[in-house]
Structure 1
Amino acid sequence: MPSQSVSTPRADILVIDDTPENLNLLSAMLTEQGYKVRSVTKGSTGLRGATAAPPDLILLDINMPEMNGYEVCEHLKANERTREIPVIFISALGDVLDKVKGFAVGGVDYVTKPFQVEEVLARIENHLTIRRLQKQLQTQNEQLQQEIRSRQLAEERFAKAFRSSPNPIAIATLEEGRFIDVNPSFLRFCGYSLEEVIGHTATELDLPSASQTLAYTIQKFQEMGSLHNQEVEFCTKTGELKTILLSIEFIDIANVQCTLLIANDITERKRLENEFISLVSHELRTPLTSIMGALDILGAGKLGTMSEQAQKVLSIATSNTERLIRLVNDILDLERMKSSKIVMHKVKCNAVDIMVQATEAMQAMADNSQVQLVVNPLNVELWADSDRLLQTLTNLISNAIKFSETSDTVWIGAEVIEDKGNSLSASSCASNSLLITVRDQGRGIPEDKLQTIFERFQQVDASDSRKKGGTGLGLAICRNIVQQHNGRIWAESTLGEGSTFYVLLPLASS
């Protein structure tokens, strides 16, 4: 025989009545309406059935032998398992006191016999609906309570980690950057008291050692949505300069957007690192100069003629020695810049001269790589150290040529940014600024590398230093030069299509 689909009953109803005729009538009526019906003639039997398998609703007669309906209802309401089941009394007793007693023992409704079928069905459906809504509300309340408990637990864990963390941590409003909470490590780090910090900004407390660097850091955070291990310098209350790795994340506190700032104090590590780099660089320079001189003598043939194979070996040695000398010079340059031992000699200079000189200086390299240079200079004046800006542009053009293929083009252009948000990523550009661009058609830079390539010894590919002859310090030097001109440098790129480097510099005052 073909199987027949069994529809899900609308509800499970238990009918307790000692009169078989009433049971049969109610059972037939409810079954016809799609309800599952269980019928019993004794109150004690009904209690056992309700406890074993709680129904959705109970229809209960009052006048029954052994145990009347009131007693049955009292037992139901005393049992944790059956307490919430709605009970509708159906009885021939129509006195007001009988009805009041029915409600007093826990009934939800009272129908007087003889009853109307439509009335009973309407009341059943009404109370089943109320019960369903109660269950939904109860479930939602339980879920809400669980979420509240989970949130409280998470907040307790966060508060414990926040207070006990050895790292300086602060919470500030996103809109104004005002501190709303800081941990004890933050107070020990900066030297201020809690009362002096709360409600103030980092700038008001003179914490940033260079406002331009902090502004650039905040902008990067807003563009990326988070920031991790950005090197920033801060001043303590006593004026001591400290270097930190700053990480920033968005958090929501009472529907107020805030930032979570976590600092890692690397002052001592940086000091040791800088001393080590400076010492090693100075110690390397003298022997390298000597080696280079010896190689030049050999290459000039002053010590005799060498075979072709020897010339190749000498060429490799010369190339690698030159690379080492460039690396040492770059390290010393960068360290001197960071320690302010190199002073920017700023004068009024024209952007045309710097851009043309940079292009001419790199023309031979471009010709050798069969790369075309296209320059569109702009006749505007800058207050700058022309030699250092020339160094920056030649470095950027050199990189663009290195990562270009034969017959590619490198464009060098400029435009004046007059208003905020006028173009490109210059949504935060200041007015009266010059935006210089160096654009190539190379392999591009992955998005996760766009921020780190300006750090020391950072390259897109670890093999680039060998293949392209770079030191991994050029962009770090460029960033330092640009920042000392109160400017900004950044990059945008599409993999497989090329990269564009932007240098934003303030124009000279008229």
Structure 2
Amino acid sequence: MMPDRDSEQILLVDDNPTNLQVLFKTLEGSGYRLLAARDGEAALYTAKRARPSLILLDVMMPGMDGFEVCERLKEDPDTADIAVIFLSALTDSQSKVHGLAVGGVDYIAKPFQTDEVLARVRTHIKIQRLERALARRNSELEDENQQILNAVDEGIIGMDITGRVTSMNSQAATLTGWPASDCIGELFSLLQLFPGDKALNQSLNLLCEGGVGLRKEHVSISTRSGRIAPVAVSGSPRSEGGAVLVLRDISEWLQDQHALEQAREEMDTQRQHLAHIERLSTGGEMAAGIAHEVNQPLTAVTNYARVAQRLLTDLPADKRLKMDDVLTKIVIQAERAAAVIQRMRSYVKKPSGGRQVLELNAVLEDVLALAEVDSRVNAIPVQLKAAANLSTIFADEVQLQQVALNLIRNAMESTANAGHSNAVEVSTYLEGDMVCFRVKDFGAGMAPEIEAQLFSPFVSSKEGGMGIGLSVSKSIMQGHGGDIRFQANPDGGAIFSCEFPVHL
């Protein structure tokens, strides 16, 4: 029977050629590949090259005896796992014990029985196979376990009962900044992950020594580089002693919590502003009703004044002229008040009618008429410097009026609050392919912190202001393909410029 090429190899070592021949005949046909060596040096050389599964080693050899050969085999990592069976005529107990002590797995006395040698060889070859299979499976399991540990998001550190690190996955190395190669076998306390936290360090000692579990939802660890990182810590005792420590990075969770808290605060702020807007909306509806009610008595005042004028014919001429002058003034003021109320009602009620071709100068003239009351209240005149031959624009008239009126009213209030009486300047002009208008005031200007976020919602330089006018205006302008910009007035105050694309 020819031995299988991939079967185990057996090295036969004996200085006696006859003994070697007997061993060859004994094992021939057993399925093993047989190698031979006549002395200790040759045995070491062949074992290093061929890595046999088993060596049948004679003890009594010239030069290097079998015991020394075995010792040197066991000292070399490449040959330490080779099983050695001693063959010797020395049958005393001391020799047998010494052979087993230097690393032999069995001891066969000479002269040997063929069946005994073959049986022991097969037994130890089988043991070798099982040990290799077990070692291979253990290695595979370790690799699988390590892959599983490396796949989880948490850092996992194993410790023995003395607190020394026995294992560490890649995430633990990333979190702590300590590579596993520097930590295995070292005391966990030497890593100084929790400096100054006496309570936690005591809990770790209780975990390893007494099997007392621990859980901390938020602690700080000091990494190898000195960086402080937030983690959640949990520890569980192991049945064989020691413990497993789990570190979970919670920095992203803390950021999410902070963002959630900010969102809640912003929602509360928005809710308050929406409540304010609702009150303003209700007030606007009431104002529209009041305007309607006031308009009726104004009309009555006008009618009564005109009736009184017709009844003046019975009075003397001098008194009739004076009364007529007074009544005429009453009519003029009543009609003026009615016109103001009518313009306000029209502005409030007019829906957004969509975009159309508009003359910017004509729209601004209507806006100045709307701003007449504010102009008298603030004692600040408004001047319109309209450019001639201005191109048309394609815009929503109501939205354009809203932007212009907001800027003009702000300009009048700012100028009045600064104690000036200069007129607010509204001018139109053409710049490239953009039709523009500018509102210039002579107020106190903008504080730097306000200017930096001027067009953000709920930012206002006016006491009690809601801070939504400029934000809405910018949205309207950008929605029309234009923009609104701010610059400081060199003479003091502010200049706001709005631009619309030319309608082709």
TM-score bracket for this pair, using the shorter chain length? 0.3 to 0.5
Q: Larger radius of gyration, structure 1 or 2?
A: 2
- The structure whose residues are more often helix, as a share, is 2
TM-score (norm 1): 0.34
